[in-house]
Amino acid sequence: MSPALPRRTPFPTRIARLGRVVSHALRALVIVAGRFRNLAYAERAVVNQRWSRGLLKIFGVEVKVRGTAPGVFPANTLLVANHVSWLDIFALNSVTVSRFVAKREILSWPIAGWLVKNAGTLFIDRSKRRDASRINEQLARALENGGCMAVFPESTTSDGTVLLPFKASLFESAILSRGMVQPVALRYLDANGELTTAPAYAGDTSLWTCIANILAEPSMTVELSFGTPLPATAFDSRFALSEAAREQIGAALTRSSDLPGTAERTPEDLRAEAR
């Protein structure tokens, strides 16, 4: 017998949820504009974690952790994960708080751009090949100073049904800082426990459509599968380190029968990874 289709959230409930999201976002504006910048990293991590958990609760998203998380703010650690949604950031921060590397275009987003910038996000211009070197230097410096940073090495989002090839460039920061790389696999499940693409922010999906899709789900679970930490000193290149992280994330995702597998690399992908 086929599993029953999950019910949709009643429209009044969606509106109420949206109102709570707006209120929660305004609270973030007040926090970041006020005392946040004067807090120590550990204090910022606590604030960030609480706010992220609050946002997920409003959206009806439960976090399920597999494996061993490295802690709230592990020093000199580069978190690497597959990328499905803007919600990934808050799912990761609800367990292990990091500063993220994001595409430069986010700076132009109203409110959100200002928020993430002042929360310590680093921005990369993907249209400029040499910009990765600048970001690597900043990442390495942050890691050496005891920071926990996070990147999405697919460099784009997918719908969550396939793992895209990794770009190895930002793994150089872990090599430079002699840090630890922590692979994390994310996947979203609906109320029936089936893989769902509702939170996917990929392709032509707009931010508003993505938010509406999430609001329409009565509940979801995001699974965070933490792999075995990889000491950068054990690898002779960023390419080997990138491949080891991708293998762990791919293995965690393909343990679910819902996920077909990982995307094969094309010659174009290999050239992109070399950047």
* Residues 6 or more apart in contact with residue 117 via CB below 8 angstroms: 107, 123
The mean predicted confidence, pLDDT, of the chain is: 88
* Domain extents in the chain: 11-273
| Residue 141 DSSP code | H
Q: What is the mean pLDDT of residues 227-246?
A: 97
- The neighbouring-strand residues paired with 79 are 150, 182
Would the pLDDT of 101 be above 80?
A: yes
Would the pLDDT of 34 be above 90?
A: no
Tell me what pLDDT residue 273 has. Answer: 43
Tell me what pLDDT residue 137 has. Answer: 93
Would the pLDDT of 258 be above 60?
A: no
Stated as kind and residue range, the H or E segment containing 17 is: helix 11-33
How confident is residue 131, by pLDDT bands cut at 50, 70 and 90? confident
Prediction pTM value: 0.88
Measured CA to CA, the distance from residue 70 to residue 84 in angstroms comes to 22
Tell me what pLDDT residue 126 has. Answer: 74
Measured CA to CA, the distance from residue 116 to residue 48 in angstroms comes to 11
Q: What is the mean pLDDT of residues 81-104?
A: 93
CB 33, CB 145: distance < 8 Å: no
CB 153, CB 168: distance < 8 Å: yes
Q: Report the candidate in 164, 162, 153, 161 with the shortest Cα–Cα distance to residue 198.
A: 161
Tell me what pLDDT residue 263 has. Answer: 44
Question: Which of 32-46, 109-123, 208-222 is the least confident region?
Answer: 109-123
